[in-house]
Amino acid sequence: MSLLFRDYAGTPKAFDEVVGAEGVRVAYGSVLRQLAKLDSEEVRARAEYLKSTYLDQGVTFDIGGEERPFPLDIVPRVLLADEWAEVEAGVAQRVRALEAFLSDVYGEGRAFRDRVIPRRVVVTSPHYHRVVAGIQMPNRVRCHVAGIDLIRDEVGRFRVLEDNVRVPSGVSYVMTNRRAMFSALPEVTNRHRIRPVEGYPLHLLAALRAAAPSGVADPTVVVLTPGVYNSAYFEHALLARMMGVELVEGRDLVCHNGRVSVRTTQGLRPVHVIYRRVDDEFLDPAQFRSDSMLGCAGLITAARAGNVTIANAVGNGVADDKLVYTYIPDLIRYYLAEEPKLASVDTWRLEDDEHREEVLDRLDELVLKPVDGSGGKGIVIGPRANAKQLDALRARIQKDPRGWIAQPVVQLSTVPTMIEGKMAPRHVDLRPFAVNSGDDVYVLPGGLTRVALPEGELIVNSSQGGGSKDTWVLAPDGVRGKRRRRRPREALAGVPQVDLGEERVQQQAQQQQQTRVGGSPC
Amino acid sequence: MLSRIAESLFWIGRYLERAEDTTRIVEVHLQLLLDDPTVDQDDAAVNLLEVMGVPVGESADTNEVLRALCYDPASPSSVAAALGGAREAARRARETVSIEMWEAINTTWNSVKAGRLQRMRPASAFRLVRERCAVISGTADQTMSHDDGWLFLTLGRSIERIDMTARLISTAHLISGTQATWSNVLRGCGAHHAFVRTYGGVTTDTDAAEFLLLDRLFPRSVVHNLRAAQAALVELDQKARRAGSDEAQRLLGTARAALEYRDPGMLLDDLPHRMTDLQRICNHVSEAITERYFSGATAATWSGGN
């Protein structure tokens, strides 16, 4: 093992993905072997390169108006083919169930009638939007893109932590991470068969085109961004560029007669599919926040008229709601008649009197999450909080029990991460991305692995100082052998060169000099 | 193409050219001070700053010139501000500019932001800026489709170049009237070599002015850029049948005719004043283009629902 990893041991409580009780795990064997061929200084230099290349490329995210490069760690996270197969099937199943649930919620409401989930839970969600009830999606898809956050528990089993079917972000870093790793560690990457991630934009574009309003043969797709000050602006630009579509802001759009157009130098041009990265509340000032500058008034009307498709659909947030999360295993059984393939994390519903009493007694050992939060905002980790914070939390829960859920502290799995030039275990999660085209659910092999960089930290979000790792899904024959030598092919003639006749001129010029030296009479 | 993106590209063109030309102007200024010991340094600095549109108090010196025109990103006329502006505009049009061009702009801005220019001797800093600008515009030429977006970029560059060349000629004229002036101006435009090859070694001020203002083939001459801007506008406006219906084209055409058809003997007459006029025309052209192509980008605001 390389010097860098010699003293590495995981943390006692968590599952370490690299080192187990029997030594290095299968998935990482060859990665560590290849890394060991590089000397420690070299690995550190490569890690520095990763940092500088992201600054040059402008691969950044914004925190409070400041652009920062997204930290990418030098050690990849590796998943074996069969580990991934389990994740892939589980994520696809979950997306199918969420789709069925959402069209039920905004449609006939079978699940309420059959008492699988109380109607109260859904309609009290802050992200439930009555204004979109009854809107039919052209190809019945509402979650064109989904990001399902997974963690590995103390025994290494994947569990779903939360669902993101509003505007999940981070996929751009999956693609840029891969490119950066290929150029930073070619010796390691080229010895593995890693399933590619470059195809994502094509899958996304296909899904968006498939979702176009009926009767539009060649739909115009745009990406709607809140603008350069949004933390994920880099991603919006990257996706637009890779899909070859326009990146628009709310002020570029105009709605008229139930149709949406974009302002160009040649006048207005119609738009059919909007992949929006603007939150529901800001999307249409005529329906939601009337002071929004980020959206365009009339979008919902146009969507209801069936002239434009908004992807992801408005109102998807009910499925992200963390109280609804507790019902998802039941919903999977109800809609799909299948057992859930991925486990969830045990969760207490604080609306329930018994649950609440138990949780309030044990606040200092549990994790409390607001139901509508994302990006790790508002989470309180009991064992880390002081008495004052816990009291404040208790009061807030009693005031709004619907607004909170409680979970046990799950020790996220760890992967070695370079911290100040040394390898140290850090907690990670995984966000696989799924694209639903209506015909099938494509799960991008790998997804975004986020790392909590401070020691012992369990919240991995980039807005909370998290970094990332390139996530490799190995093909079934994951490690490449030595390449057999091919017979040399017959080479074509070399590159053409100009003949300036220099040689002869040079000869004569030199002869002339010699005659001069000889003392010619001229 | 989107009006907002077109506007961004137009301004990338303008800001990059501004950064480059500002270094040229400052370099000529510093050189004039060296060549002509009779020039009062502080007066010259005040003149230069006025021509460049920097508010000046009673006095200024060379350090103030370097701060206001080169290093200080908070000074709107500085090279640093121009590069920052180009970078912001490129960031807003990031899916339209090519990756290579974006990276060229971004790395340039990163090093300027980190204070690289201040740490170098002025002459090296100027050369660095000029080289970076050449890399960026070369990359743009070679990696972007020459479509509408590229035309807006070219348009911005040409208009800014006319404006800045006019300023360069004005400043040189204000500072000093010696023979060295014109050859410094030519050097500042990178035109000295081309000029000598065209006119030979023995030349007059009129020859130099003629070359900078009227040469058809030299890419930094005023007439060349008036033509280039006009050509880009014609290309953008393929459908127009009646000549001169576009305000920007009309302004450019008039300015070009005024230069081209002037009595050759009167080329140098009233030059500073005419250069100021030229700058004014550039402003009008820019406004006309904004009006016609970019104003679609002004948002309609929603005022209902409260």
How many C-beta atoms surround the C-beta of residue B301 within 10 A? 10
Same structural domain for residues A350 and A336?
A: no
Q: How many CB atoms lie within 10 A of CB B207?
A: 16
Q: Does some domain include residue A440?
A: yes
Task: Tell me the nearest-neighbour CA distance from B10 into chain A, angstroms.
Answer: 12
Beta-carbon separation of A248 and B6 below 8 A: no
User: Hey, is B116 helix, strand or coil?
Assistant: helix
Asked whether residue A209 is assigned to any structural domain, the reply reads no
- Residue type present at position B60: A
Q: Clarify whether residues A94 and A32 are in a common domain.
A: yes
Q: Report the residue from B3, B91, B107 with minimal CB separation from A265.
A: B3
Given a contact cutoff of 8 angstroms between Cβ atoms, the answer to whether A407 and A347 are in contact is yes
Query: Among residues A388, A409, A430, which one ends one of the domains?
Result: A409
Residues forming a β-bridge with A472? A78
For an interface test with A, which of B111, B298, B302 has the most A Cβ atoms less than 10 Å from its Cβ? B302
CA nearest to B87 within chain A: A58
Answer for the pair A303, A310: CB distance below 8 angstroms, yes or no: yes
Count of CB atoms situated within 10 Å of the CB of B98: 15
Q: Model confidence over B231-285: pLDDT tens digits?
A: 999 998 887 777 777 889 999 999 999 999 988 888 888 888 899 999 999 999 9
Are A58 and B103 in contact (CB < 8 Å)?
yes
Instruction: Please report, in angstroms and rounded to a whole number, the separation of the first and last CA atoms in chain B.
Output: 34
Average pLDDT over residues B54-79: 89
Q: Is residue A437 part of a domain?
A: yes
Sign of CA dihedral A356, A358, A364, A368: negative
- In single-letter form, the type of residue at position A491 comes to A
Based on the fold, state whether residues A367 and A446 are members of the same structural domain.
no
Neighbours of B100 (CB within 10 A): 15
Judge contact between A133 and A303, C-beta under 8 A.
no
Smallest CA–CA separation between B24 and chain A, in Å?
A: 27
Looking at the complex, report in whole angstroms how far the Cα of residue A289 sits from the nearest Cα belonging to chain B: 9
Residue A298: other Cβ atoms inside 10 A: 23
- To probe the interface with B, which of A131, A176, A254, A265 has the most B CB atoms within 10 Å? A265
CA distance A122 to A329: 16
- Cα–Cα dist A148/A162, whole Å: 6
Chain A positions contacting chain B at CB under 8 Å are: 55-58, 223, 228, 233-234, 237-238, 240-241, 246-252, 254, 262-267, 285-286, 290, 292-293, 297
The three-state (H, E, C) secondary structure of A439-508, written as one string: CCEEECCCCEEEEECCCCCCCCCHHHCEEEECEEEEEEEEECCCCCCCCCCCCCCCCCCCCCCHHHHHHH
CA distance B89 to chain A (A): 10
The answer to whether B65 and B29 are in contact (CB under 8 A) is: yes
Residues A36 and A62 in one domain: yes
Q: Is A218 helix (H, G, I), strand (E, B) or coil?
A: coil
Q: For residues A289, A291, A295 and A296, what is the CA-based torsion angle, rounded to 10 degrees?
A: 100
Query: CB A56 to CB B106 under 8 A?
Result: yes
The answer to whether residue A299 is domain-embedded is no
Q: Are residues A369 and A332 in the same domain?
A: no
Claim to verify: residue A124 and residue A14 sit in the same structural domain = yes
Query: Does A501 reside within a domain?
Result: no
Are the C-beta atoms of residues B293 and B6 closer than 8 Å to each other?
Answer: yes
HSE-CB of A420 using CA atoms within 13 angstroms: 2
Burial profile A101-119: b = 16 or more Cβ within 10 angstroms, e = fewer: bbbbbbeeeebbeeebbee
Look at residue B170 and tell me whether its pLDDT is greater than 60: yes
Sign of CA dihedral A52, A56, A61, A62: positive
Q: For residue A14, which of A365, A426, A347 has the smallest C-alpha distance? A: A426
A58–B6: do the CB atoms touch at under 8 Å? Answer: no
Residues B91, A228: C-beta atoms closer than 8 Å: yes
Contact A265/B92, CB-based, under 8 Å? no
Higher pLDDT, A378 or B305: A378
d(CA B237, CA A180): 42
Reported as type and span, the H/E element at residue A5 is helix A3-6
> Which of B11, B94, B109 best tests the A interface by mutation, with the highest count of A CBs <10 A?
B94
For chain A, how many residues are written? 522
Cβ–Cβ gap A290/B305 under 8 Å: yes
Apex CA A130: angle with CA A124 and CA A134, to 5°?
130
Instruction: Mark whether A143 and A182 lie in a shared domain.
Output: yes
- Averaged pLDDT score across all residues of chain B: 87
Whole-angstrom Cα distance, residue B203 to residue B205? 7
pLDDT digits (tens, 9 = 90+) for B211-233: 999 999 999 999 999 999 999 99
**With contact defined as beta carbons under 8 Å apart, do A295 and A283 qualify?**
yes
| Record: contact A241-B2, CB cut-off 8 A | no
Of B2, B95, B106, nearest to A58 by CB-CB distance is: B106
Contact criterion met (CB below 8 Å) for A358 and A349:
no
Nearest to B92 among A228, A234, A290 (CB): A228
Residue at A334 is within a domain: yes
> Three-class SS of residue A429?
strand
Provide, as residue numbers in chain A, all residues whose Cβ is less than 8 Å from the Cβ of B304: 285-286, 290, 297
Task: Please give the residue of chain B at the shortest CA–CA distance from A267.
Answer: B296
Interface touch A248/B2, C-beta < 8 Å: yes
> Which one of A55, A233, A263 has the shortest CB-CB distance to B110?
A55
**How far is the C-alpha of B37 from the C-alpha of B224, rounded, in Å?**
35
Q: Say if CB A200 and CB A174 are below 8 A apart.
A: yes
> B296 Cβ partners below 8 Å, 6+ apart?
A263, A264, A265, A267, B3
Q: What is the pLDDT of residue A462?
A: 65
Amino acid found at A75? V
The domain of A378 spans 346-409
Pick from B95, B110, B302: which is nearest to A240 by CB?
B95
* φ, ψ for residue A326, nearest 5 deg: -70, -20
Q: Which residue has the higher pLDDT, B38 or B179?
A: B38
pLDDT at B186: 87
Nearest Cα residue in chain B from A250: B299
Does A264 reside within a domain?
no
Q: Residues 270..289 of B with a Cβ closer than 8 Å to A: which?
A: none
Interface of B with A in 63-102 (CB under 8 A): 88, 91-92, 94-95, 99, 102
Give the residue from chain B lying closest to A268, CA to CA. B296
Smallest Cβ distance to B1: which of A223, A251, A264? Answer: A264
Q: Identify the CATH number of the domain in which residue A376 sits.
A: 3.30.1490.270
For A314-370, list the strands marked E by DSSP: 343-344, 348-349, 366-370
Nearest CA in chain A to B152: A265
In the predicted structure, residue B21 carries a pLDDT above the cut 70: yes
Confidence of residue B306 (pLDDT cuts 50, 70, 90): very low
- Taking CB atoms and an 8 Å cut-off, how many pairs form between chains A and B? 80
pLDDT single digits (tens) B43-60: 888 888 888 888 887 778
Nearest to A252 by CA among B291, B148, B299: B299
| Cα–Cα distance measured from residue A163 to residue A148, given in angstroms and rounded to the nearest whole number | 5
Q: Which of A57, A263, A290 sits opposite B3 (nearest CB)?
A: A263
d(CA A3, CA A73): 18
Residues of B in contact with A292 (CB under 8 A): 302
List b or e across A72-88, with b for residues whose CB sees 16 or more CB atoms inside 10 angstroms: bbbbbbbbbbebbeebb
DSSP annotation of A72: B
Q: Is the pLDDT of residue B15 over 80?
A: yes
- Can you read off the two tokens belonging to residue A20? 């187990």
Model pTM score: 0.84
Q: B100 to chain A, minimum CA–CA distance in Å?
A: 9
Q: Is residue A399 located within the same domain as residue A470?
A: no
A422-431/A380-381 β-pairing:
unpaired
Half-sphere exposure of B47 (CA within 13 A, CB side): 22
Distance from A69 to chain B by nearest Cα, in Å?
12
* Element containing residue A418 per DSSP (H, E): strand A414-419
In the DSSP assignment, the letter for residue A421 is T
Contact A290 B306 (CB under 8 A): yes
CA distance A297 to chain B (A): 7
Smallest Cβ distance to A247: which of B95, B99, B107?
B95
pLDDT digits (tens), chain A, 522 positions: 567 788 888 888 889 999 888 888 888 988 988 888 888 889 999 999 988 888 888 887 777 667 778 889 999 999 999 999 999 999 999 999 999 999 999 999 999 999 999 999 999 998 999 999 989 898 899 999 999 999 999 999 999 999 999 999 899 999 999 999 999 999 898 888 999 999 999 999 999 999 999 889 899 999 999 988 888 888 999 999 999 999 999 989 999 889 999 988 888 899 999 999 999 999 998 888 888 888 899 999 999 999 999 999 999 999 989 999 999 999 999 999 999 999 999 999 988 888 888 998 888 889 999 887 766 678 888 888 888 888 888 888 888 888 899 999 888 999 999 988 888 999 999 999 999 999 999 999 999 999 998 888 888 876 666 889 999 999 887 677 666 667 777 766 677 777 777 777 787 877 777 666 555 555
Predicted pLDDT of residue B297:
46
- Within 221-260 of B, beta carbons closer than 8 Å to A belong to 236
Chain A residue closest in CA terms to B299: A251
Burial A304-332 (b: 16+ CB within 10 A, else e): eeebbbbbbbbbbbbbbbbbbbbbbbebb
Over residues B98-114, the pLDDT tens digits come to: 889 999 999 999 999 98
- Considering the domain architecture, whether residues A356 and A463 belong to the same structural domain is answered as no
Of B2, B91, B301, the CB nearest to A263: B2
Domain count, chain A: 2
Residue B2 is classified by DSSP as B
| Together in a domain, A333 and A353 | no
CB within 8 Å: A265 and B148: yes
Q: Other CB atoms closer than 10 Å to residue A464's CB: what's the count? A: 17
> Domain boundary at A393, A409, A425, which?
A409
Give the nearest chain A residue to B107 (CA atoms): A56
DSSP-derived secondary structure for A144-206:
SEEEEEEEE-TTS-EEEEEEE-SS---HHHHHHHHHHHHHH-HHHHTTEEEPP-TTHHHHHHH
Residue A283 in any domain: the answer is: no
Check: complex ipTM more than 0.85:
no
By Cβ distance, the residue of B102, B297, B305 closest to A263 is B297
* DSSP state for residue A217 in the 8-state scheme: S
Give the residue from B70, B72, B74, B15 showing the smallest Cα distance to B48: B70
**Nearest by Cα to A141 from A331, A325, A309:** A309
Instruction: Please tell me whether residues A354 and A420 are part of one structural domain.
Output: no
- The whole-angstrom distance between residue A122's C-alpha and the CA centroid of its chain comes to 26
Query: In A, which residues are within 8 Å of B94 by CB distance?
Result: 58, 234, 237, 241, 247
User: Nearest chain A Cα to B108, which residue?
Assistant: A56
